[in-house]
Amino acid sequence: MNTLVLVEHADGAVKDASLATVTAAAQLGTVHALVAGDGPEAKQAADAAATIAGVEKVLLASDPAYARMLAENVAALIVPLMVNYDVLLCDASSNGKNVAPRVAALLDVMQLSDVIAIEGATDDKRTFVRPIYAGNAIATVESSDAKLVLTVRATTFEKAAGQGGSATVETVSGPGDSGLSSFVGAEESKSERPELTSAGIIVSGGRALKDAATFEQYIVPLADKLGAAVGASRAAVDAGYISNDYQVGQTGKIVAPALYIAIGISGAIQHLAGMKDSKVIVAINKDPDAPIFQVADIGLVGDLFAIVPELTAKL
Amino acid sequence: MKILVPVKRVIDYNVRPRVKADGSGVDLANVKMSMNPFDEIAVEEALRLREKGVASEVIAVSIGPAKAAETLRTALAMGADRAILVETEDAVEPLAVAKLLKAICDEEQPGLVVLGKQAIDDDSNQTGQMLAALMDRPQGTFASKVEVSGDSVEVTREVDGGLETVKLTLPAIVTTDLRLNEPRYASLPNIMKAKSKPLASKTPADYGVDITPRLKVLKVAEPPVRKAGIKVGSVDELVAKLKALGAVA
């Protein structure tokens, strides 16, 4: 099969998630990469994409209409290109999730979202594995569509090597600005800490933290010490300790860091659904029967207000 | 203008989904069902736009089994003006849902369609984007703020690493994220009143849409079970364990 990967890039560099998507694409067939953007940064990203191991060709679409990856414009760029491809793969990122279904509908294809494994990659058997019910069930799904549109969960595929490839870069163009939408502005999170969904370590606090001031006082220093992102349970968010963009759980962010430290979190289903794919889970809670201990690799029963400062000091 | 709000009946978010023993799916018998939480936020946003005078009518739509009428009654109790149920006992994939919604939009001509960014059962996160594509209209996905002015809407979107604001020409499709609002509870008098609000019953055939699935679910399995680990007695032990696992430097 011929595959096309929509590459995500920033400041002229390819994002790590797209390297994982290239690995998924390589399991299906030959890999071409599409870099959509504007100006020298897009060119730089295309050159970077050309060095990814396994990428045979890079398509570069450079136009102000693609600078902000507006779905209306980018989907209109991709759809005609799909004449030459059997599969479109996007990262299961906010951008991929925005663009891919728009392309799928225009191709009259039912998209496969959040693919975590590829089981069959032959022309007559195309089988994929994806989580449903926030990861509480895993579905194996076969597509009967002529073309495939996939979003790929980056945490479950190895990253392709960023070096070693020597693909050619070919310029393509699309219809440009659809006139339907325009970019107004962006407000990037100013936090020095890593982003919740891509962090290697997450320190997460629950209702037992008492209030916003103690949340800040106990959770933040530990997170800073570990270079970790800060998370929170829904109970902590609902109680107003922290704003809800920090919420980990079924209705918040789904995370899978290498280390997840749950502090004063009882472990409601809602929360577990969002973090149980973490590699190592540590739970600190004063209730020995808290459900969080059923998924924790290491549990410590006790008073978090004594334990957390000690842990912060000793790590 | 009218606002169309598609809502889905799903397993309640506080219920732990159980996979059927034969691996054919998730067991929904005798399980509490509720409105998809993101759709509740969509209903709330539509109601607020009506209360501000931006919208004149809020129409709730659901595509699903007969019991999805209950979900529509919830939307009506929250304050929607009327409802449309497209009834089918078959599973309907996002692409088919988008086609049905497009047919309804062709009839109703809403200025805005506001719907949840995803349903918490199949987690597809596709329907809004697909509807926008089929209608050739702009999309504002994962909205945390929606401001309508004149013939356009500014949508602030929750994107990886922050927020982004886009301006869309109406009619437009908006999908909701968690931070957009706190949905209201329906009061008892409003629940009673909702019983007499109009609810039209339709079928996919009424709209001439083929809902045959494109994807075949071969198997639904439990995720790999996470074994409970060990309990340690002190912070020192915890630190030693973390170092032994290579989880911290």
Tens-digit pLDDT string for chain A (315 aa): 999 999 999 999 999 899 999 999 999 999 999 999 999 999 999 999 999 999 999 999 999 999 999 999 999 999 999 999 999 999 999 999 999 999 999 999 999 999 999 998 887 789 999 999 988 899 999 999 999 999 998 878 989 999 999 999 999 999 999 999 999 999 876 667 887 877 899 999 999 999 999 999 999 999 999 999 999 999 999 899 998 789 998 778 888 899 999 999 999 988 998 898 899 999 999 999 999 999 999 999 999 999 999 999 999
Q: Name which of A94, A243, A276 is nearest B226 (Cβ-Cβ).
A: A276
Is the CB of B31 inside 8 Å of chain A's CB atoms?
no
Is the CB of B185 inside 8 Å of chain A's CB atoms?
no
Mean per-residue pLDDT over chain B, rounded: 96
Q: How far is A244 from chain B (nearest CA, A)?
A: 7
Give B-chain residues touching A69 at CB under 8 angstroms: none
Which of B165, B235, B239 should one mutate to test binding to chain A, selecting the residue with the greatest count of A CBs within 10 A?
A: B235
Instruction: Read off the pLDDT band of B225 (50, 70, 90).
Output: confident
User: How many other CB atoms sit within 10 Å of the CB of residue A226?
Assistant: 23
Please give the pLDDT value at position A134: 87
pLDDT at B20 over 90: yes
pLDDT in tens, B93-142: 999 999 999 999 999 999 999 999 999 999 999 999 999 999 999 999 99
Please give the pLDDT value at position B160: 83
Give A-chain residues touching B221 at CB under 8 angstroms: 137-140
Give B-chain residues touching A137 at CB under 8 angstroms: 17, 19, 26, 220-223
Please give the pLDDT value at position A156: 84
Please give the pLDDT value at position A120: 86
pLDDT at B249 over 80: no
Mean pLDDT for B163-184 is: 96
Contact A101 B133 (CB under 8 A): yes
Three-class DSSP category at B52: coil
Q: How far is B141 from chain A (nearest CA, A)?
A: 7
Contact B95 A110 (CB under 8 A): yes
Q: What is the ipTM of this complex?
A: 0.94
Q: Name which of A75, A195, A297 is nearest B160 (Cβ-Cβ).
A: A195
Give B-chain residues touching A187 at CB under 8 angstroms: 162-165
Q: Which two tokens stand for residue B115?
A: 């719907």
Give B-chain residues touching A201 at CB under 8 angstroms: 248
Please give the pLDDT value at position A190: 65
- Output the pTM of the full model: 0.91
β-bridge mates for residue B173, sequence order = B113, B139
Contact B169 A187 (CB under 8 A): no
Q: How far is A131 from chain B (nearest CA, A)?
A: 8
Give B-chain residues touching A114 at CB under 8 angstroms: 123
| Distance between CA atoms of residues B192 and B196, nearest Å | 8
Pairing of strands A87-91, A148-152: parallel
Give A-chain residues touching B157 at CB under 8 angstroms: 94
Is the CB of B133 inside 8 Å of chain A's CB atoms?
yes
The tally of CA atoms less than 13 A away on the side-chain side of residue B231 is: 14
Judge contact between A173 and B162, C-beta under 8 A: no
Question: Which residue does chain B place closest to A238, by CA atoms?
Answer: B182
A vs B, Cβ pairs < 8 A, gives: 255
Question: Which residue does chain B place closest to A191, by CA atoms?
Answer: B161
